[in-house]
Amino acid sequence: MNGATAGSSQGARGRSVAFSGVELRYGGKESPPVVVDLSLQIAAGEFFVIVGPSGCGKSTLLRLVAGFLEPNEGTVTAGGVAVTGPGPDRAMVFQSVDGPLMDWLTVRQNVAFGLKMQAKRTGQEFDPAVVDHWLQLVGLTSAAGKLPHELSGGMKQRVQIARILAVKPDVVLMDEPFAALDAQTRRILQRQVVELWQTEGGTVVYVTHDIREAVLLGQRIGVMRAGPHSDFRSLHTVDIGYPRDEFSPEFAGVARAVEAEIVEEVTRAWQN
């Protein structure tokens, strides 16, 4: 039962995220919109998971919240304030393993990057102890001096997570962060993400195409329709406490329901 409230019990941090009547097209007027009239409310401190067929617009939604994209119609707000561009209150863990890290900075320096920017902005002293703390939390203390090209894929994703969470963003956006990793590493990192969210608080919007992962992590799961002209088809509340047992009947029940909807949408996507 406490699953549904675990995040909000830390309610000190986290901001609500809202889409209202959002339409987005990448090209000009002629190109079909990716999403149309999409509305969604994500509560402050919530762990929200987005699933849907490939190409339906999941990443697009995250980019809208991050402020990398602007909607053609409607508004995207974070904490009730319209999103106008990228900012450190909404941080993103990218799907790409090699793209987002600074290749010329060590693991330590990568994690310190956001903290240094923060120190600059607030005029406070940069505290290297915070970097140490996060390196330890994601198990990278012994790799602190390494450059990204010397790391495995799972280690790189942990660097991404550490450097994002270290700046304590109100909203954490995660775009299939573990899709490229092996099953064992993924399992460990999934557990870690839930633990970090429980201790650190914050709102998480998590995109995945893995239904098991969705049910393992999310307080709510939003299923998107096949694109273009996509929006949310349904929202599922997962009322199971963390850590979740994926072999329990409740887990299987939710997973089955979500799976059935996705299969329907994928089939539709293929027919389009």
The residue type found at 44 is: A
Q: Which is nearer to Mg ion, 59 or 190 (CB)?
A: 59
Instruction: Answer whether 131's CB lies under 8 Å from 112's CB.
Output: yes
Shortest reach from residue 266's CB to Mg ion, in Å: 15
> Which stretch of DSSP H or E encloses residue 81?
strand 81-82
| Interface with other proteins, residue 164, by CB under 8 A | yes
Distance CA 107, CA 51 (A): 31
Shortest reach from residue 59's CB to ligand ATP, in Å: 3
Distance CA 250, CA 248 (A): 5
Shortest reach from residue 25's CB to ligand ATP, in Å: 9
Distance CA 91, CA 214 (A): 20
Shortest reach from residue 32's CB to ligand ATP, in Å: 9
Q: Which is nearer to other proteins, 149 or 256 (CB)?
A: 149
| Position among 8, 20, 23, 68 found at the interface with other proteins (CB under 8 A) | 68
Shortest reach from residue 44's CB to other proteins, in Å: 19
Could you say which residues in the range 58-117 bind ligand ATP, by CB under 6 A? 58-60
Instruction: Answer whether 84's CB lies under 8 Å from 165's CB.
Output: no
| Position among 209, 212, 229, 233 found at the interface with ligand ATP (CB under 6 A) | 209
Shortest reach from residue 24's CB to Mg ion, in Å: 14
Could you say which residues in the range 223-242 bind ligand ATP, by CB under 6 A? 227
Q: Which strands form 35-42's sheet, in the order they lie side by side?
A: 35-42, 17-24, 73-78, 81-82
Instruction: Answer whether 221's CB lies under 8 Å from 51's CB.
Output: yes
Q: Which is nearer to Mg ion, 130 or 179 (CB)?
A: 179
| Interface with Mg ion, residue 203, by CB under 5 A | no
Residues 6 or more apart in contact with residue 102 via CB below 8 angstroms: 109, 110, 113, 148
Helices and strands, counts by H and E, the chain: 7, 10
Instruction: Answer whether 209's CB lies under 8 Å from 176's CB.
Output: yes
Task: Tell me the backbone φ, ψ of residue 74, rounded to 5 degrees.
Answer: 75, -175
**Near other proteins by CB under 8 A, which window of 31-39, 52-60, 80-88, 237-245?**
80-88
| Position among 3, 7, 45, 57 found at the interface with ligand ATP (CB under 6 A) | 57
> Which stretch of DSSP H or E encloses residue 207?
strand 203-207
| Interface with ligand ATP, residue 34, by CB under 6 A | yes
- Look at residue 242 and give its three-state secondary structure: coil
How many residues touch other proteins under the rule CB under 8 A: the total is 34
Q: Which is nearer to Mg ion, 76 or 140 (CB)?
A: 76
Q: Which is nearer to ligand ATP, 26 or 126 (CB)?
A: 26
Could you say which residues in the range 23-62 bind Mg ion, by CB under 5 A? 59
Q: Which of 76, 51, 41 is CA-nearest to residue 257?
A: 51
Q: Which is nearer to other proteins, 175 or 213 (CB)?
A: 175
The item of Mg ion, ligand ATP, other proteins, none sharing an interface with residue 55, based on CB under 5 to 8 Å by kind, is: ligand ATP
Q: Which residues bind Mg ion (CB under 5 A)?
A: 59
